[in-house]
């Protein structure tokens, strides 16, 4: 099986932007040759609340869910956008509590398994 290039970014939560503390809460992966765009999230409530006891967990979960919805959108204005455009929009710099880190690249023969591996390595450790 051939290996294809992919790009990924870690989705992170920075509950108090002025302090710069963050936790990894998911991974966004895009593989153009396989028409694959997916986000997986795994928010550790305990770690988030350790950084900010007043963190709004439902709001953070909703923001994380928006990454997943945007990847799989089948209706509305987002659905008309190519997957690459969605990935670029999702990884654009933001100064909000939920944002992505820098984009990295790799090679894979199974984007879904690669996403699982990245989440296990970068988020749920």
Look at residue 77 in the predicted model and tell me its pLDDT.
Answer: 84
Query: Would you kindly state where each structural domain of the chain is located, as residue ranges?
Result: 4-122
One-character DSSP codes across 25-77 = EEEEEEEGGGTEEEEEE---HHHHHHH-TT--HHHHHHHHHHHHHHHT--SSG
List per-residue pLDDT tens for the chain, 125 residues long.
799 999 999 999 999 888 889 999 999 999 999 999 999 999 999 999 999 999 999 999 999 999 999 998 887 788 889 999 999 999 998 878 999 999 999 999 999 999 999 999 999 98
Place of tokens 């959108």: 73
What global pTM score does this model have? 0.93
């Amino acid at each position: 099986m051939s290996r294809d290039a992919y790009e990924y970014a870690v989705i992170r939560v920075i509950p108090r932007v002025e302090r710069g503390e963050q936790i990894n809460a998911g991974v966004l992966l895009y593989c153009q040759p396989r028409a694959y765009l997916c986000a997986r999230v795994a928010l550790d409530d305990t770690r988030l609340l350790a950084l900010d006891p007043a963190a709004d967990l439902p709001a953070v979960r909703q923001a994380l869910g928006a990454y997943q919805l945007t990847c799989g959108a089948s209706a509305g204005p987002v659905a008309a956008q190519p997957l690459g455009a969605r990935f670029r929009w999702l990884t654009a710099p933001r100064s909000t509590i939920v944002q992505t880190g820098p984009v990295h690249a790799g090679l894979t023969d199974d984007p879904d398994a690669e996403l699982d591996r990245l989440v296990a390595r970068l988020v749920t450790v």
